[in-house]
Chains A and B, each alone.
Chain A
Amino acid sequence: MKKIEAIIKPFKLEEVKDALADLGIEGMTVSEVKGFGRQKGHTEIYRGSEYTVDFLPKIKIEVVLGDALLEGALAAIVKAAKTGKIGDGKVFVSPVDEAIRIRTDETGDKAV
């Protein structure tokens, strides 16, 4: 099993979700996150004073899936989330030791 963590532009969430669903991936966890990479922040103004926003809002998608689905899922995410402009985000993959579906006690690939 592998876990994919994809940090993407917020408005790309819908497309990425649909692309993953098309592959038969049945679940994911999504969080609103903030951070910066090469894009850095930008300046805003409030009541006459400028300030820099260092951390930009992004969406983090976490998907745990069987090894067989990994390649397809990665390609789908990258394709759906790409705009070609700076700030598109990153994808991280890591191994997962175990998974348990709480309702049925199923474990392993059957649980994801």
Chain B
Amino acid sequence: MLKSQSKLACLAAVLATAAWFANPEAAFSQDAAPAPEPVVTTVTATETTVVATTAAPAEEAPAEDAGPSIELFTTNNLWMMIAAALVFIMHLGFACVESGLCRAKNTVNILFKNSLIPCIGIITYAFVGFNLMYPGFADTDSQFWFKFAGFGIGTDEAGVTSAYNVGYTYWTDFLFQAMFAATAATIVSGAVAERVKLGSFLIFSTIFVAIAYPLAGSWKWGNGWLNRLETPFYDFAGSTLVHSVGGWGALAGVLILGPRLGKFLPNGKVKPILGHSMPLATIGVFLLWLGWFGFNGGSVLSADPGLVSLTLVTTSLAASAGAVGAMIISWIILKKPDLSMTLNGILAGLVGITAGADQMDMNTSLIIGLVAGVLVVVSVIFFDKIKVDDPVGALSVHLVCGIWGTLAVGLLGAKAGMPQFMSQLTGVVAYGVFTFIFAFVLFFIIKLILGLRVSEEEEHGGLDLGEHGQEAYPDFQADSERLA
């Protein structure tokens, strides 16, 4: 199952590349803010800035470029907090999509997982994740793979001024990034739905989101080795760092778990297991699209009018093209326009544009979305063919289209070119190798110790009763119909 040797060889190659190109570069997109510790001197600088806006004295003119005005800083920070709230709403979107595309008897279980993941994500990000992902790599460090700035979060006065970053305070930075971390873990939940043991899954998610996501994230957004390539790897808002990482984790889980009972018949045929609520799935997809305005728009890391508005446009164009692509291809291949596939197409377009949302124009956004929409349908059919059971299409949406979007930055838009493409490929391979192996080993250990899959009996009866002793829809009839 695991082509470990070839993948290890890739890892070694990637390692060598990294060592070669240990070259500090300007920060991009979600790159590190300065590490919180060494900010003693900036406190005075901030005071000068504030005084400057009120009294405008000529005496201290050379005070550190004066920074942004308090109004600009407040506006930037406000947008970043709104963006964090939008990313937060994506968790409701995931909950709706996943429960809608699964059976009614597993709804409580899915909602339970989706309720706990953001909570676990935020807590672990506070304890370790934030300081593991943004450890403040210094140019003098011997390696740019791993650094840890200590447990817990906290800042001094400078952290809540523009001395920390012109776009946001320390706290906003933490919250926005914490929402992202939780997103990566949620992706796994949909793929392993309807058969994974709750406790085992929660343990996996905790370790995955506490260690794998932030460690891998530091390579790029934490100003680690991928950000120091001669042509730095580029991932604007996380096609790879968030979506592929979640997707690789999902792939590992699905391979170890195996398909749901009854999905693949002994005669080789696929027996689809129908989702129980298309309205719920549709609501979820639109919530995710809404949330993506914050996911991509917030990844500008300020309220820069031009960049934020461009990003929202490219994001929406790609989502729309994704839906159109999925509709056309499902109409041609499957003879009917499939709703759940078209919904996946919207998400595919969104995941696809995420890596280069600030680098594309109208046409390139449309191309990225269209290709993603086609890819997602073909890949859902492909995964069914090779008997990999993914109830909600998480692998096709997040893994396949995450890779596509990341590579597309080297093919289309402002950064297109061979060196960029090679850097993108390096990033895709590095994240794939690391995350897949990490998740596979973690799932495997959990399987040995606790077991990973519910009993056959429980799977038939539904995880709602088996894991929770509860039902999502307990009433025989709706109350309003039960009068008299």
Contacts and interface: CB of A to CB of B under 8 A. Distances in A.
Contact of A45 (B271, B335, B377, B393): B335
Residue in A45, A46, A47, A48 with the greatest tally of chain B CB atoms within 10 Å: A47
Contacts of A49: 270-272, 384
A92 interface: no
Interface residues of A, number: 6
Given A51-B271, A51-B272, A45 B381 contact: no
A100 to B, nearest CB: 20
Contacts of B336: 45
Interface string B265-282: 000001110110000000
B194 to A, nearest CB: 14
A47 B338 contact: yes
B380 interface: yes
A47 B335 contact: no
| Majority-rule SS of A interface residues | strand
22 contacts: A45-B272, A45-B334, A45-B335, A45-B338, A46-B272, A46-B274, A46-B275, A46-B338, A47-B272, A47-B340, A47-B380, A47-B384, A47-B393, A48-B333, A48-B334, A48-B338, A48-B377, A48-B380, A48-B381, A49-B271, A49-B272, A51-B272
Nearest to A50: B272
Interface residues of B, number: 18
Nearest to A48: B381
Interface of A: 45-49, 51
A48 B384 CA distance: 9
A49 B390 CA distance: 13
8 nearest A-B pairs in the assembled complex, by CB-CB distance: A46-B272, A49-B272, A49-B270, A48-B381, A51-B272, A46-B274, A47-B340, A45-B336
Contacts of A46: 272, 274-275, 338, 340
Contacts of B380: 47-48
A34 to B, nearest CB: 15
A47 B278 CA distance: 12
Contacts of A48: 272, 330, 333-334, 338, 341, 377, 380-381, 384
Nearest to B273: A46
Contacts of B340: 46-47
